[in-house]
Amino acid sequence: MFPGTQIARWAALHHERIDGTGYPFGLKESSLDQDARIVAVADILQALAQTRPYRPAFSQADILTMLKEMADQRQIDAGIVAFVAEDFSALYALAIGAEGQG
């Protein structure tokens, strides 16, 4: 299989939720592979960490709380959120583009 096909699939599924409430397909946990779940959590983290025209960036503490709440509600994978929480500061720095700055 052409590698780009898998990446395109992950991108297409990044708004899906493991409880089936996501979009555009409403897929549930059994239809979402681990890579698609990782992309979903990474997308949420990065979106919340960055300033947007309509709102400021959220704090690290707020983002981690939101991710854990989404995991508790079975919207995103709790195992991936737990993994992210283990080294959250480093991942937050990557999300805001702080790699190599200091």
Q: Which pTM was predicted?
A: 0.88
Instruction: Please report the pLDDT score of residue 39 as a whole number.
Output: 95
Q: How confident is the model at residue 3 (pLDDT cuts 50, 70, 90)?
A: low
* CATH value at residue 32: 1.10.3210.10
Residue where the block lists tokens 């709440």: 69
Tens of pLDDT along 37-75? 999 999 999 999 999 999 999 999 999 999 999 999 999
Q: 101 lies in a domain? A: no
Number of domains in the chain: 1
Q: 80 lies in a domain? A: yes
Q: Give pairs for 18-22: CB < 8 Å, separation 24+.
A: 18/74, 18/75, 18/76, 18/77, 19/73, 19/74, 19/75, 21/75, 22/75
Which residue has better confidence, 102 or 40?
40
Domain enclosing residue 65, as ranges: 3-95
Mean pLDDT of 9-37: 94
Tens of pLDDT along 86-98? 999 999 999 998 6
Q: 82 lies in a domain? A: yes
* Residue pair 61/89 in contact by the 8 Å Cβ criterion: no
Instruction: Please report the pLDDT score of residue 67 as a whole number.
Output: 98
